[in-house]
Chains A and B, each alone.
Chain A
């Protein structure tokens, strides 16, 4: 009886291991009650990454030619200055724009040249002095006294990294696909799109 009992004890122990693996070890794959927070490292320490802002935008693109057609200009430009700009909003919530000055190094679409000013409603990581980016520009309609631009939408900036890669401002599939083209191929595709736009074969996007 002794050895049989011993086998049963081992079987019971093994069963407990199976149950504990299935209930515990596998539970991360299929949470039963509460969601595992995103961005937490293996030790459970909080990552210092803030939640990304969530936006319903006027435009959302999934076509490069349409993005070009919707832009007032596309440039390769370098940030030369960043300052606090004007403030809008009401008591309790005001929005201070960042005023970003860029030197246009190359005009890829349209006729924007020289030094331009962009008004950003948030301090974008890409807007650092010295950073060079391909930017799809929108000429702002609320600054009649002077020419001020902003990126067309959150997908509209591709930073030229030191590695030579493009880093998209958008975190969606389209932005990542465009960035994967690399600077030279993107330039060529913008030029092709510009030809189509100027021929009237591609129209600007409808507002969302």
Chain B
């Protein structure tokens, strides 16, 4: 009797596990890099001599895409390097508009990273600047690209904010 019961319980466990595996995978699996900025929910930013256009874009993104999540941002201007350091400059004919890279890390934490906006690459409109800052800052806090979604992470110039999926992802990380 006991062995039958044990057998049934093992079968039940296998079925339960199988059902759990077959359940819809949470959306958070789709566009997170596995990295995050810093070790807690407060992320510090350094805006270093940004042009007025990208300074305003940064503030717009902070208010509309990052602060509405569980991330608390602390933004400094021209301080020592913070967790995320944002620059815009004329880097020349590099083939990119914006790039994020991590300079100090220990999985899954990126302790210090850099966002670079290439002013040489395009005559940026207001919407362009918001879209680009949104994507690169999104990378800095752990988001990857996803194409075809209503989000700046799609790399579409028309999208100037993170969408609800992105924000859910961030809330699951921070």
Cβ-defined contact, A7 with B2, below 8 A: yes
Cβ-defined contact, B100 with A53, below 8 A: yes
Chain B residues with CB under 8 Å of A101's CB are none
**A1-39 vs B, Cβ < 8 Å mask (1 yes, 0 no):** 000000100110011011001100110011101111111
Chain A residues with CB under 8 Å of B100's CB are 53-55
Chain B residues with CB under 8 Å of A22's CB are 13, 16-17, 20
Query: Which A residue's beta carbon lies closest to that of B153?
Result: A54
Consensus secondary structure, chain A interface:
loop
Chain A residues with CB under 8 Å of B35's CB are 37-38, 51
**B24-46 vs A, Cβ < 8 Å mask (1 yes, 0 no):** 01101100111100000000000
Chain A residues with CB under 8 Å of B121's CB are 58
Give Cα A154 to B157, complex, Å. Answer: 20
Whether a CB of chain A sits under 8 angstroms from the CB of B94 is yes
Whether a CB of chain A sits under 8 angstroms from the CB of B163 is no
Count of chain A residues with a beta carbon within 8 Å of a chain B beta carbon: 55
Query: Which B residue's beta carbon lies closest to that of A54?
Result: B139
Cβ-defined contact, A58 with B172, below 8 A: no
Cβ-defined contact, B89 with A35, below 8 A: no
Cβ-defined contact, B17 with A39, below 8 A: no
With A30-B25, A50-B102 as known contacts, state yes or no: A89 contacts B87, CB within 8 Å.
Answer: yes
Chain A residues with CB under 8 Å of B62's CB are none
Query: Which B residue's beta carbon lies closest to that of A93?
Result: B87
Cβ-defined contact, B96 with A88, below 8 A: no
Whether a CB of chain A sits under 8 angstroms from the CB of B105 is yes
Whether a CB of chain A sits under 8 angstroms from the CB of B68 is no
With A17-B13, A53-B101, A54-B145 as known contacts, state yes or no: A46 contacts B106, CB within 8 Å.
Answer: yes
B49 contact from A29, A40, A90, A152, Cβ within 8 A:
A90
A57 contact from B97, B120, B144, Cβ within 8 A:
B97
A21 contact from B17, B85, B106, Cβ within 8 A:
B17
Give Cα A92 to B93, complex, Å. Answer: 20
Chain B residues with CB under 8 Å of A208's CB are 97, 155, 157
Cβ-defined contact, B96 with A56, below 8 A: yes
Whether a CB of chain A sits under 8 angstroms from the CB of B149 is no
Whether a CB of chain B sits under 8 angstroms from the CB of A150 is yes
Chain A: minimal CB distance from B169 (Å): 8
Query: Which B residue's beta carbon lies closest to that of A141?
Result: B93
Chain A: minimal CB distance from B23 (Å): 6
Cβ-defined contact, A56 with B98, below 8 A: yes
Cβ-defined contact, B99 with A54, below 8 A: yes
User: What are the 6 A-B residue pairs with the smallest beta carbon separation, nearest first?
Assistant: A38-B34, A37-B108, A14-B9, A54-B139, A142-B92, A46-B107
What are 18 residue pairs bridging A and B, where the CB atoms are less than 8 Å apart in the complex?
A11-B5, A17-B9, A21-B13, A26-B17, A29-B20, A35-B172, A51-B105, A54-B33, A54-B145, A56-B96, A57-B97, A59-B95, A90-B89, A93-B87, A93-B89, A140-B93, A151-B95, A152-B95
Other contacts beyond A26-B17, A33-B172: 4, CB < 8 A: A30-B21, A35-B28, A92-B48, A150-B93
